[in-house]
Chain A
Amino acid sequence: MALVPVALLLTAGFTAVFAQESTRIDNASLVYGAYFLAVCVATHLYLRIRLPNADPYLFPLVALLTAFGLVMIYRIDPTLARDQANWFVLGLVLFALTIQFLRDYEVLERYRYTIAAVGLLLLLAPRLPGIGQQVNGAYLGVKLGPLAFQPAEFSKICLVVFLASYLREHREVLIVGARRVLGVTLPPLKHFGPMLVVWGASMFMLVFIRDLGSSLMFFAAFLALLYVATGRFSFVVIGMAMFLLGAWFFAATVPHVHDRVEIWLDPYAHPHKSGYQILQSIFAQADGGLFGKGFAQGMITVPGTHSALLPAAQTDTIYSLIVNELGLFGACAVILIYLLISARGFKIALLADDGFSKLLATGLTAVFAIQAFVIIGGVTRVIPLTGVTLPFISYGGSSIVANFVLLALLLLVSDRARREVTP
């Protein structure tokens, strides 16, 4: 029965967004809107039948973000929006397939080392000769024939699955085996190995993939899981110290990482070159004010030219465009949706019965929330700006598909958890 208000919200949301769009462009957008609504309702119904006990709010919230993202991208470039719509449909297919074939998601535990290996391999792929691609100095992309994707988006799921499984098994020993040395609780050395491996992987990302954003996202998710699994805050402190130490070291030695940090600290040093993107991102926000300039009223390129006024508006800086056009209120609404999704995700973790489910739900939710933080924090100069996508809103096939798989896993956990709670 919770479905009714949600469905209403969903419909109202789409109609509002698309109605606004159609006044500006043409009837085609109404048709798009209808398609979108139909696809979403179909998926929603499938979900209700297949996983009747799953959290009823998550999918509508995500659909809202996606619709919002599609409209923003449409407003930037209709061609990109068509691509994105295709990716969205593919994402839904994978979403449905995951739900269809992975109902007993514990099987994932059995393959955890395989999954970890796949995750690491995916991370490594962008540096492999022939298929790797460099984007803005970072190695994030892979190109296989006509298919280009960003493997980090998928490897974050692999990593969370592995960690959830590994920590479920070893959390007891990590807690019990811990010793206090000089007033600091240290994990047992024997089980400390995997921690070092993950730390190593993050550092590896910094050095070889040169992506501070993904590295931060991975490591933060790892620490979050470690903390939830063990309840030892000191582990988090140690982990953070290790990350900062490593980041500091590599920021000083790896030029690309070093530049990102320098730009963050002083974007005005080279306002037309390296500092351009972050400065323009902030200037765009300054023009937004409380209520924004109005949808599609903002400037993305210098009028009459193709030179970017807001570089990478459809990916990195889409949040700045939202602030620019919809103002502080619009941006707060977006952040609120992310917060609601996080709240639902953690709720699932709370309800889940077994350790693996709990850790899996926590990990997936954490990595999702942190990803949103890393990119929004990047464009608002809270942290250095890096090329992470804004989940479900930014343009990008890998991002949307991977995040739908993430959502599917979360809903699978949710379905079982609630089934056990409400027989």
Chain B
Amino acid sequence: MNRQIVQLFAFVVVLFAVLVGFTSYWSVFDAKALREENANKRPLLEQQQIERGRILAADGTVIAKSVPKGHGSSLRYVRRYPEGVLYGHPIGYSYVEEGDSEFEQFHNDELVGNESEFSSILDELRGHQQEGNDVVTNLDPTAQAVALADLEAVGFGAVVAIEPKSGRVEVMASNKPYDPNRVPHELTRLNNSTVETPLLDRATQGLYPPGSTFKVVTAAAGLESGEITPETALAAPSPLEVEGTPLQNDFNESFPPITLDTALTNSVNTWFGQLGQQVGQERLFETMEKFGFNSTPPIDLPGDQVYASGVYSEEHLLHRDDPVDVARVAIGQERLLATPLQMTMVAAAIANGGKLMKPQLWSRVVDPDGRTIERLDPSEYSQPVSERTAADLNAAMQGVVSEGTGTNAAIEGVSVAGKTGTAETPYNESCGGGSEENQAWFMGFAPAEEPRIAIAATVECTTQFGNDVAAPIFRDVAETILAGE
């Protein structure tokens, strides 16, 4: 029997070796993947035991902070948002059970003080407790409050304000807002709200037909491609047969040959429709893409929570060689959809002499001892148009506010450049199916000569026009920011 006993022992050795093998697999080889599993709350729970850093507005107002709960081994920190609904978007929330979103999610590493593997091992050896850093944003509390209050007065929508020369995002407001403090109590209710959709950040995830605001992009493509100059005059009859369907101007008005200034001031559909056809889909899409369309905007928010703008077919973005009605794309119709953030980027690029800066919410990271350890270094995303083209567009957009369709955006003593948009969205289910519903827009910048701020404002499901509901929001927010200088 001895031989069998030895064999049995060998078998037991094999069994135990299998145990060591599996233990090694879970604890070492597969550990990283396991930590990233959704069902694994351990990493979040660990972070909860670290005092997460604060999130501050540009003026030092506390937007998010952590408060301790419990003692000893049950000590943990819970997130509080003193300003309530005001910064629900774009700051988001961070909780163990409910997870995290938006700015809180994107800047998680800085907020919990995660460092490289090596330095964290060193810290551990020296007995340092991991501490979170504060992150200061560029958000302007007064302007943010004005933007949200204005939106709440007129309807669902969003406002984004960016400093053109740096890309600093100073306002990002979305109505319907939500209070991040309430998330642990009513996440399900918030998620199930299909009409108000308070968790949807309309500034970055609201995909709306941009309507006439998009004519600025078409004009940019025309000027850049050399198809037109500011002096080129085109006739704009109405109606104009395009792709088998007549395209009309407002009041079905026909225009004799007119230049860009006049066409933009009066938002002449058939003028821009023809220009779009002249420029062609290839070059129009090229310009669009330089402005940021067709890709996720380079902002410091999680990629899955910022939507790309462009021509959509179902859920997919169409590209240069897909069949589209280019004349209608040129006037912001067809299946073209854009986020308020994207349209602000268009305004900001023109305001900044043709250079598009990466939009960024964060400004600097401050460690627990109060030292600034990282500072935003503004960087260029692209140059969609030349300085010359930007100047021409700037001039044309000033005409819109001074004598055209966007007069309600005018600010006393300050020159304003901008463009209105009113996309008809009749029978839209999310608007309750009314036949008179519009998507109202205004995008622009001020002061026109030396732009300080670029803003896009949009309101969904309104029976009014861009100049009636969106332009006043632009004006209020711009005034607030200019007054704060």
* A residues neighboring B (CB under 8 Å): 224, 227-229, 231, 268, 271-272, 275, 279, 282-290, 299, 302-304, 309, 323, 327-328, 331-332, 335, 338-339, 342-343, 346, 349-350, 355, 358-359, 362, 366, 369-370, 373, 376-377, 380-382
B1 touches A286 (CB 8 A): no
Contact of B18 among A283, A369, A377 (CB under 8 A): A377
Whether the Cβ atoms of B74 and A377 lie closer than 8 Å is no
Q: Known: A231-B3, A282-B26, A366-B8. Is A332-B20 also a contact (CB below 8 A)?
A: yes
- How many angstroms from the CA of A366 to the CA of B3 in the assembled complex? 15
Nearest CB in chain A to that of B96: its residue: A302
Decide yes or no: A346 and B27 within 8 Å by CB, A231-B1, A299-B45, A373-B16 being known contacts.
Answer: no
Chain A residues with Cβ below 8 Å from B320 are none
Give the distance in Å from the alpha carbon of A304 to the alpha carbon of B7 in the complex.
51
| A304 adjacent to B70 (CB under 8 Å) | yes
- CB atoms of A304 and B74 under 8 A apart: yes
Closest beta carbon of chain A to B452's beta carbon, Å: 47
Name which residue of chain B comes closest to A282, CB basis: B26
Q: How far is the CA of A335 from the CA of B21 in the complex (A)?
A: 11
Answer yes or no: B76 CB below 8 A from chain A CBs: yes
Contact B4 A228 (CB under 8 A): yes
CB B57 to nearest CB in A, in angstroms, measures 30
Q: Given contacts A228-B5, A302-B45, is CB(A328)–CB(B37) below 8 Å?
A: no
Identify the B interface with A (CB < 8 A): 1-9, 12-13, 15-16, 18-20, 22-24, 26-28, 30-31, 34-35, 37-42, 45-46, 48-49, 69-70, 73-76, 96
Closest to B76 in A: A303
CA distance A260 to B38 in the complex (A): 22
The contact of A380 among B12, B13, B23, by CB within 8 Å, is B23
Known interface pairs A302-B45, A355-B1. Does A286 touch B34 (Cβ–Cβ under 8 Å)?
A: yes
Count A-B pairs with CB separation below 8 Å.
138
Q: Which residue of A lies closest to B49 (CB)?
A: A303
Q: Tell me the nearest residue of chain B to A348, going by C-beta.
A: B5
Q: Are B76 and A282 in contact (CB under 8 A)?
A: no
Name 30 interchain pairs, CB-CB below 8 A, sorted by A: A227-B8, A228-B1, A268-B39, A272-B39, A283-B42, A286-B26, A286-B42, A287-B35, A289-B28, A303-B49, A303-B75, A304-B69, A304-B70, A304-B74, A327-B27, A339-B12, A342-B12, A342-B16, A349-B5, A350-B6, A355-B1, A358-B1, A362-B5, A362-B8, A366-B12, A369-B16, A370-B15, A373-B12, A380-B22, A380-B23
If A302-B45, A303-B74 touch, whether A288 touches B12 (CB-CB below 8 Å) is no
Contact B5 A282 (CB under 8 A): no
Are A309 and B5 in contact, CB atoms less than 8 angstroms apart?
A: no
What CA separation (Å) do A323 and B9 show in the bound complex?
A: 25
| Contacts A289-B28, A304-B70 given; does A229 touch B1 at CB 8 Å | yes
Chain A residues with CB under 8 A of B42: 283-284, 286-287, 299, 309
Q: Judging by beta carbons under 8 Å apart, are A224 and B8 in contact?
A: yes
Closest A residue to B70 by CB, please name it: A304
For A382, the chain B residues whose CB sits under 8 A away are 18-19, 22
Check A286/B4 contact, CB under 8 A, given A327-B27, A339-B16, A382-B18: no
Give the shortest distance, in Å, between B263 (CB) and chain A (any CB).
Answer: 58
Residues in chain B near residue A339, CB distance under 8 A:
12-13, 16
CB distance from A75 to the nearest CB of B (A): 11
Per the bound structure, the CA–CA distance linking A272 and B40 in Å amounts to: 10
User: When A and B form their complex, which 5 residue pairs have the shortest distance between CB atoms, in order from nearest?
Assistant: A271-B39, A286-B34, A380-B22, A286-B31, A285-B26
Closest A residue to B33 by beta carbon equals: A286
